[in-house]
Amino acid sequence: MARILILFSSTDGHTIKICGRLKQVIERNAHQVTTVSVKDFRHIDLAAFDKVVVGASIRYGKHSKLVFDFISSNLELLDSKSNAFFSVNIVARKPEKNQPETNPYMRKFLRQIAWRPKELAVFAGKLDYPKYSFFDRLMIRFIMLITKGPTDPATAVEFTDWQQVEAFGLRVSEM
Ligand SMILES: Cc1cc2nc3c(=O)[nH]c(=O)nc-3n(C[C@H](O)[C@H](O)[C@H](O)COP(=O)(O)O)c2cc1C
């Protein structure tokens, strides 16, 4: 049995939902999973875990600065363990942009960090106009208009491929 930390960065909760599914899959494989927000990373004893998974969503083109802070503060410890990273974004709803090698946010992220995660995944996120502030709804609808996505302000849709999430959970269990 391995002790696995899943550290998440989420604004509207969808990355947390993905972490919940990963936890289910991994615990079915007899490991123990602890999920913690990146906001609390300074209180975590990384040495207590055998594997570390970091998962973060994209907001206006970026992963949270806290994710970068966590990585740079823990680079050596991270490298000494089995580890993985996944990104959640709406661009990944497009089949040609849903792999680590083809997703622009993942590619940019890997260029920005010294860490080389041993496993990578990209998941399409959730679009939830009714939940957004007026400004965010306006901006995201504009982005969707340009990228040929849904613009109806009543749209709430999960683009996430849950089979892909489960497959990643199995890879994490086995790594
Ligand atoms: C204000 C806002 C900005 C976003 N910006 C982007 C973006 O630049 N690129 C993208 O692919 N997805 C973008 N998204 C989509 C989110 O990555 C997606 O909704 C994801 O599921 C959010 O996960 P979270 O709820 O864990 O934060 C944005 C969403 C919101 C609400």
Does the CB atom of residue 63 touch ligand 1 within 6 A? no
Does the CB atom of residue 19 touch ligand 1 within 6 A? no
Distance 2 CA to ligand 1 centre (A): 31
Ligand 1 atom closest to residue 16's alpha carbon, by position in its atom list: 26
Q: How do residues 20-62 score in pLDDT, each as one tens digit?
A: 999 999 999 989 999 999 999 999 999 999 999 999 999 999 9
> What kind and span of H or E run contains 57?
strand 51-57
Q: Where are the alpha helices (DSSP H) in the chain?
A: 14-28, 65-73, 75-79, 104-112, 134-146, 162-174
Q: What is the pLDDT of residue 119?
A: 97
| Protein residue with its CA nearest to atom 16 in ligand 1 | 89
**∠149-153-155 over CA atoms, to 5°?**
65
161 closest CA partner among 116, 102, 99: 99
Q: How do residues 111-150 score in pLDDT, each as one tens digit?
A: 999 999 999 999 999 999 999 999 999 999 999 999 899 9
Q: Which residues, including other chains, have CB under 8 Å from residue 78's CB and lie 6 or more apart? A: 46, 52, 71, 115
Predicted confidence band of residue 173 (pLDDT cuts 50, 70, 90): very high
Q: How far apart are the first and last CA of the chain?
A: 12
Pocket perturbation via mutation, ligand 1, pick of 35, 37, 54, 59 by most ligand atoms within 8 A of CB? 59
Q: What is the pLDDT of residue 107?
A: 98
Q: What is the pLDDT of residue 10?
A: 98
Does the CB atom of residue 12 touch ligand 1 within 6 A? yes
